[in-house]
Structure 1
Amino acid sequence: MLRLKRIGISTSRENVAFLSRACTSYRAAAFEGQEKVEVVANGHRLVATLNLVNDPAILPPDCLGLSEQAFARFGLAEGTAVRLDHPHPPKSREGLHAKIAGRELDETCFRAIIEDIAHHRYGKVEVAAFLVACGSFMTTAETLALTRAMADAGETLHWPGTPLVVDKHCIGGIPGNRTSMIVVPIVAAHGLPMPKTSSRAITSPAGTADTMEVLANVEIDLPTMRAIVAEAGGCLVWGGHVKLSPADDVLISVERPLNIDTREQMVASILSKKKAAGSTHLVIDMPVGPSAKVRTADDAARLRKLFEYVGDAIGLSLRVTISDGTQPVGRGIGPVLEARDVMAVLENRADAPADLRERSLALAGRILEFDPALRGGAGLARARALLDSGAALAKMQQIMALQGPPPRLARLGGLSREIVADQDGRVLAIDCYRMARIARLAGAPFDPGAGIDLLKKVGDPVQAGEPLYRIHAEREVEFRFACGLAAEASGYAVNGNGKGQN
């Protein structure tokens, strides 16, 4: 037997175990080259990737180390006696190989594969093979089967006595698009329950959870979340804390570095989490633009049909709205700057970004029209009245108070530089993808005060030497990275004489 030891190494969503080469209980060489081992103790089992350790200062010979995430999942105290086993192959492996071979799978096969992925029985190589196989060939029926399997693999929320539970989701790709933080208080102020679980950023400068964390605590457990929704009618919390569709988190951690983002996987990812969250009615915001995830009207039409088909089949009343994806929304990119824009809209300030305000009102109006008490077309007017009257701001303040204060005070990064136009003219276009990359290099969302403050938007006149945007950062190294990328190409196209800067 070995003593369990927590190793202070973060391994993201992967379970990693560490064994000393000098271990006398087990011959380390017997495990070398084996991708997985099973850690066993007191009825607890954990499949993990094994790394061998040469330095006894890191791991004594009589210990078995687990990374931070693996230790938390295993759930036993340091010093617990554990043993190692050779793990049995996942039961779903035959189905996985069939999909890799290009065959169509039924729902039973998808459920088995997703169950094994959710319990970390596959390594990243096998998960990547599954994603590539699905991206190469996947029928509509398979997309539905995958969605159902993912929704059922983790926690499933139920809201007894509440027949109408609304939600919204933007498919992403547009920096600054923090409409959820405005939509939730509007809808909750009207009286429709909207328990919003949101993601943290993976490759973007901010997710809704990152931006909300500037204003309030988002790491809320399920009983507290239920209590907040019962009192306020809505919440804005991090979905990872309530373990909805856990296989999706594993899939995302592999597909993002590989830049795999097919229509089928997107639909399964989004709708599985909404179904697991107990939503009954959903609005999908689909931005379309040259640097957005969806780039053409034809692509949007195909994706819309797939969302509607799967949504209907799993019992979601779903509406898809097409929005402008040609430039960032609002003026801020990064948690602190986006939170500033959100509060400016809720407070009805004169300097509030008009595009963020109007986009949020349009989405809130579509959601409010799920209410049978509102006549068709009345949702937008009702949303505007709730925002203009201050009812939405009061509701947001109530939600923030119930969720509690943020874990740390977030301030705008102290390092800043303005990126200026190189000619007179008008702003023709802004590259959303490049803006997100620059903000990310500046440190967002890890430093909440890092990001980009947009000083010009599409259509604005500009003179040579006039600032287009301002980069903010906390750390000198990240500040240099962001400024260097902006110097290579600003991400803005300014046209005064038939030429633009990019």
Structure 2
Amino acid sequence: MPTLQVRRMHIDTYQEPVIYMRDDCHICQSEGFEAKSRIEVWYRQRRIIATLNVVGTPIIAPGEAGLSEAAWRALGACEGATVGVAHLQPLHSFSHVRGKLYGTPLDDAMAGAIVRDVVAGNYSDIEMATFLAACAGDRMNLQEMIALTRAMVDAGSRLSWKDAPIVDKHCVGGLPGNRTTLLVVPIVAACGLTIPKTSSRAITSPAGTADTMETLAPVKLGIEQIQRVVWDEGGCIVWGGAVNLSPADDILIRVERPLDLDSDGQLVASVLSKKIAAGSTHVLVDIPVGPTAKVRTSAAGERLVSRLRSVGDAFGLTVCGLVTDGTQPIGRGIGPALEARDVLAVLNGATEAPRDLRERALLLAASIVAMGKLIPAAEAQELVQRVLDSGAAWRKFQAICAAQGGMREPPVAGFTYAMRATHRGRVDSIDNRKLARIAKLAGAPKSAAAGIYLHCPVGRAVEVGEPLFTIHAESRGELEYARLYGESIAAVVAVTEG
């Protein structure tokens, strides 16, 4: 096998491993490597698949290959180490993707082969995008959804627990704020149920549950640590990417989100594979519906609920779907630290706590408790409200944070700018997507303190010059970038004159 010495290029290619070779590299020429070739890279017993980028400048010396940050981390080599390089053998599983493009349904064996190759890193982004496109829209029937879910579960680790029921929740997303998980978990755990919550980081949103929780406590725990926390406290809020539960999901989402493909089949497999792998027996799925949410109509929401239930039944998983209001953000903070402060305000019963966040968290928690304890909805609602109002949920949240490594204060942004009403009137609508974009331009979620604080929800009367929302950033440049975008677009927070 041909060999080269490797250099760390310090180039961020997100999660895609990339290898760089010179256009006059003797191995590049003799092996017939071309730009975008898929290359096997070997270091001792470790193997990765990387996409080749060919460079025409002396940034790399003869006999060297550069590695992106993702490739460097995955390979685990040291600077100047000798690595072997070779062409990737043809992917037999991709014939199933081509078949799906032309209408051939996926069975268990086909889905399993595709997912195993995805997890092994054998698929390029283009090949994964082709698979996602082949499954997009309504191109997957129920049996295909079950097959893909099973393949995604089988490709990773699984958690197991001593007692049932094991409850969980998920929100399909598309709604800024809405950080109910950090409230639901301690409420439900304080009610005596077991809720091991593994959550994701943001990919294209201003914050994921794991990002927000990380401003308050560590979230990168191993399987044994997670089990200890759950056994001791009845619940946890951790980053699922650290424990290899349904590992294909994070890989596919990385490609799926920028494509903005709406696919119930992929969403169902994504959500339920993680819950099954986490050992859940009962799951509540929150489906916000609104004109600028991910799910746009109630009919689409109900259709998604039906598919989630049907696939769940195939695995002995009880799934309850709740179609909720997705017309505007939930809470006031958008961004990790700002959302964390909303959560703390609700847990502490502060007078300034967002009422909508509190009420939605109680609704979701009551639904989970009713499902897990097999009690009437009214009794469950009374129980969760008592647990929150008595401070039991706050004490449970503190205990969970301590068990995960210790509680801390969320950071505060150094720079802010208020976007103000230009005329008197009433807030008529809020564009969730535009508001989320401003928060991301301000630096969220990478800058944990960055984001937006929303002052005026829908229905609120405002005067000229009154703040509609305040941009928070950790640098002047990011603040200015977000401000300029916010001022250049219309109807982020639409105020009807009157």
CA positional deviation for 1:206: 0.7
- Aligned to 1:83, the other structure's residue is in SS state strand
Q: Deviations over 1:440-489 (max 9, x none)?
A: 11111111111111111111111222221111112222212211222122
The counterpart of 1:142, out of the listed 141, 144, 156, is: 144
Please tell me whether the aligned partners of residues 281 and 318 of structure 1 are also in contact (alpha carbons under 8 angstroms).
yes
CA positional deviation for 1:382: 0.9
Instruction: Report 1:7-22 matches (<5 A).
Output: 7-22=9-24
- Aligned to 1:211, the other structure's residue is in SS state helix
Aligned residue identity for 1:197: T
CA positional deviation for 1:77: 4.3
Please tell me whether the aligned partners of residues 19 and 28 of structure 1 are also in contact (alpha carbons under 8 angstroms).
no
> Bigger CA drift: 64-73 or 189-198?
64-73
Instruction: Report 1:185-334 matches (<5 A).
Output: 185-334=186-335
Distance in 2 separating the partners of 1:191 and 1:28: 65
Other-structure match for 1:448 = 448
- Aligned to 1:443, the other structure's residue is in SS state coil
CA positional deviation for 1:25: 5.3
Q: Aligned pair 1:164/2:168, yes or no? A: no
When residues 481 and 80 of structure 1 are mapped into structure 2, their CA distance, relative to the original with a 3 A threshold, is: closer
Other-structure match for 2:75 = 74
Aligned residue identity for 1:411: P
CA positional deviation for 1:395: 0.8
RMSD, aligned CA: 2.0
Structure 1: tracts of 5 or more residues without a match: 498-502
Please tell me whether the aligned partners of residues 97 and 134 of structure 2 are also in contact (alpha carbons under 8 angstroms).
no
Distance in 2 separating the partners of 1:464 and 1:66: 54
Aligned residue identity for 2:481: F
Other-structure match for 2:379 = 378
CA positional deviation for 1:435: 1.0
Other-structure match for 1:358 = 359
> Bigger CA drift: 5-14 or 92-101?
5-14
Other-structure match for 1:40 = 42
Q: Aligned pair 1:367/2:368, yes or no? A: yes
Aligned residue identity for 1:381: E
Other-structure match for 1:491 = 492
Instruction: Report 1:337-356 matches (<5 A).
Output: 337-356=338-357
Other-structure match for 2:392 = 391
Report the identity percentage.
48
Please tell me whether the aligned partners of residues 21 and 61 of structure 1 are also in contact (alpha carbons under 8 angstroms).
no
Distance in 2 separating the partners of 1:28 and 1:425: 71
Q: Aligned pair 1:467/2:467, yes or no? A: yes
- Aligned to 1:319, the other structure's residue is in SS state strand
Q: Deviations over 1:59-102 (max 9, x none)?
A: 33333333222232234444543211221112202111111223
Distance in 2 separating the partners of 1:490 and 1:296: 21
Please tell me whether the aligned partners of residues 4 and 64 of structure 2 are also in contact (alpha carbons under 8 angstroms).
yes
Please tell me whether the aligned partners of residues 28 and 52 of structure 1 are also in contact (alpha carbons under 8 angstroms).
no
CA positional deviation for 1:189: 1.2
Aligned residue identity for 1:345: V
Distance in 1 separating the partners of 2:426 and 2:134: 45
Distance in 2 separating the partners of 1:132 and 1:471: 36
Distance in 2 separating the partners of 1:222 and 1:356: 30
Distance in 1 separating the partners of 2:478 and 2:76: 36
Q: Deviations over 1:144-188 (max 9, x none)?
A: 2111111221122222x1221111001101111000000001111
When residues 140 and 422 of structure 1 are mapped into structure 2, their CA distance, relative to the original with a 3 A threshold, is: same
Q: Deviations over 1:295-316 (max 9, x none)?
A: 2111112111111111111221
Please tell me whether the aligned partners of residues 220 and 242 of structure 2 are also in contact (alpha carbons under 8 angstroms).
yes
CA positional deviation for 1:248: 1.3
CA positional deviation for 1:275: 1.2
Please tell me whether the aligned partners of residues 43 and 75 of structure 2 are also in contact (alpha carbons under 8 angstroms).
no
Aligned residue identity for 2:465: G
Distance in 1 separating the partners of 2:28 and 2:55: 13
When residues 36 and 25 of structure 1 are mapped into structure 2, their CA distance, relative to the original with a 3 A threshold, is: closer
Distance in 2 separating the partners of 1:361 and 1:409: 24
Aligned residue identity for 1:148: R
Distance in 1 separating the partners of 2:4 and 2:259: 37
- Aligned to 1:394, the other structure's residue is in SS state helix
- Aligned to 2:373, the other structure's residue is in SS state coil
Distance in 1 separating the partners of 2:230 and 2:77: 33
Other-structure match for 2:54 = 52
- Aligned to 1:98, the other structure's residue is in SS state helix
Other-structure match for 1:500 = none
Aligned residue identity for 1:12: Y
Other-structure match for 2:97 = 96
Q: Deviations over 1:266-323 (max 9, x none)?
A: 1111111111111111000111111111121111121111111111112211111111
Aligned residue identity for 2:191: H
Q: Aligned pair 1:428/2:456, yes or no? A: no
Distance in 2 separating the partners of 1:294 and 1:410: 31
Aligned residue identity for 1:153: A
CA positional deviation for 1:55: 4.5
Distance in 2 separating the partners of 1:250 and 1:293: 20
When residues 26 and 486 of structure 1 are mapped into structure 2, their CA distance, relative to the original with a 3 A threshold, is: closer
- Aligned to 1:426, the other structure's residue is in SS state strand
Please tell me whether the aligned partners of residues 14 and 120 of structure 1 are also in contact (alpha carbons under 8 angstroms).
no
Distance in 2 separating the partners of 1:110 and 1:205: 32
Distance in 1 separating the partners of 2:166 and 2:6: 44
Please tell me whether the aligned partners of residues 35 and 50 of structure 1 are also in contact (alpha carbons under 8 angstroms).
yes
CA positional deviation for 1:51: 2.1
Q: Give the paired residue count.
A: 494
- Aligned to 1:30, the other structure's residue is in SS state coil
Distance in 2 separating the partners of 1:320 and 1:236: 21
Distance in 1 separating the partners of 2:31 and 2:44: 26
> Bigger CA drift: 95-104 or 325-334?
95-104
CA positional deviation for 1:29: 6.9
What TM-score comes out, normalization by structure 1 length?
A: 0.94
What TM-score comes out, normalization by structure 2 length?
A: 0.94
> Bigger CA drift: 466-475 or 108-117?
466-475
CA positional deviation for 1:373: 6.4
Distance in 2 separating the partners of 1:305 and 1:371: 20
When residues 430 and 41 of structure 1 are mapped into structure 2, their CA distance, relative to the original with a 3 A threshold, is: closer
